[in-house]
Amino acid sequence: MLEKERLQQEMENAIKWIGQYIENSGAKGIVIGNSGGKDSATVLAMAVKAIGKENVVAVSMPCNSKSCDLEDAELVAKTFDVKSIKVDLSKTYEEMEREINTQLVKNLSKEAIINIKPRLRMTTLYGIAQTLGYLVIGTGNLCEVMVGYTTKWGDNSSDFNPIGNFTVDEVLEIGQVLGVPEKILKKAPNDGLGGLTDEEKMGIKYSQIAEMIETGNTEEKAKREILKRYKNSKHKRSLVPIYTFERKNFLKEE
């Protein structure tokens, strides 16, 4: 974990970066998926600090979710006094699953079912953002990114992300400094998509992932799992591969 003074400085730099990014893009504000978890709550707090509460819209998107998660999302929105929208995706998801299952697929796999939900949420956020002239802000931390604990074209899709280089413990520290409710910070990390906590699903702890990031080593069993996940999730950290060949292109990026 970064030393206290360094973390404080990087937090302040990240908050300034949010404001500069919005200004440079010409956007009017920020849309954030408000799950009621520590990451989205911390990013929301940073966004409010950067551009003001009147320019931030928090969107809760229950999808056959637990009522406690929605209550936590409401607590976060109320704490920072931002505009809040609730879009219930439960029926949309159920109809989509039903339609797909009437085709050749017949029965979607468990993983496919889990990943549909974040992709519906991504679509919802972008629909709202484009209508308002806002940008979608990302809420994935470094530990999640490194082991691919994200949904491609779902929660890993955003216009920019201020916490993508902060570990879980660093995000918690930032959240505490910015006044995120203690209840939210102490809540076991849970994506709400499978009934288990993040760490139970992965079979490794976020502290072990952070240790690998910072030292290159951790408990042997966890180390093997982390390295396997890191290797297998490389595609989630890369742009879409494109077949290339030499040709004239005067619009080519440098």
Q: Minimum mean pLDDT among 45-54, 125-134, 193-202: which range?
A: 193-202
Contact 146, 165 (CB under 8 A): no
Neighbour-count burial for 101-110, b at 16+ CB within 10 Å, e otherwise = eeeeeeeeee
Residue 242 maps to a domain: no
Three-state SS string over 162-182 comes to CCCCCCHHHHHHHHHHCCCCH
Residue 139 maps to a domain: yes
Neighbour-count burial for 171-188, b at 16+ CB within 10 Å, e otherwise = bbbbbeebebbeebbebe
DSSP string, 8-19: HHHHHHHHHHHH
Q: Which domain holds residue 151?
A: 4-237
Residue 249 maps to a domain: no
Residue 233 maps to a domain: yes
Contact 160, 134 (CB under 8 A): no
Contact 205, 222 (CB under 8 A): yes
Q: pLDDT tens-digit profile of 200-223?
A: 989 999 999 999 999 999 999 999
Give the side-chain half-sphere CA count within 13 A for 167.
16
pLDDT at 23 exceeding the cut of 90 = yes
Q: pLDDT tens-digit profile of 33-50?
A: 999 999 999 999 999 999
Q: pLDDT tens-digit profile of 97-124?
A: 999 998 777 789 989 999 999 999 999 9
DSSP single-letter state for residue 58: E
CA proximity to 145, closest of 64, 38, 226: 226
pLDDT at 13 exceeding the cut of 80 = yes
Taking each helix axis from N to C end, the angle separating 206-215 and 168-177, rounded to the nearest 10 degrees, works out to 110
As a whole number, mean pLDDT of residues 156-163 equals 97
DSSP single-letter state for residue 109: -
Residue 154 has which token pair? 């779902």
> Residue 233 sits in a domain of what CATH number?
3.40.50.620
Residue 252 maps to a domain: no
pTM for this entry: 0.94
As a whole number, mean pLDDT of residues 78-96 equals 97
pLDDT of residue 253: 63
CA proximity to 230, closest of 171, 138, 100, 143: 143
As a whole number, mean pLDDT of residues 58-75 equals 94
Dmax (CA) of the chain: 57
Q: pLDDT tens-digit profile of 238-254?
A: 989 998 889 888 887 66
Residue 100 maps to a domain: yes
Domain count, the chain: 1
Helix (H, G, I), strand (E, B) or coil at 136: strand
**CA 232 centroid distance within chain:** 19
Residues ≥6 apart with Cβ < 8 Å to 190? 37, 196, 197, 198
Contact 82, 53 (CB under 8 A): yes
Residue 177 has which token pair? 């400094």
CA proximity to 59, closest of 79, 73, 72: 73
pLDDT at 134 exceeding the cut of 70 = yes
Residue 250 maps to a domain: no
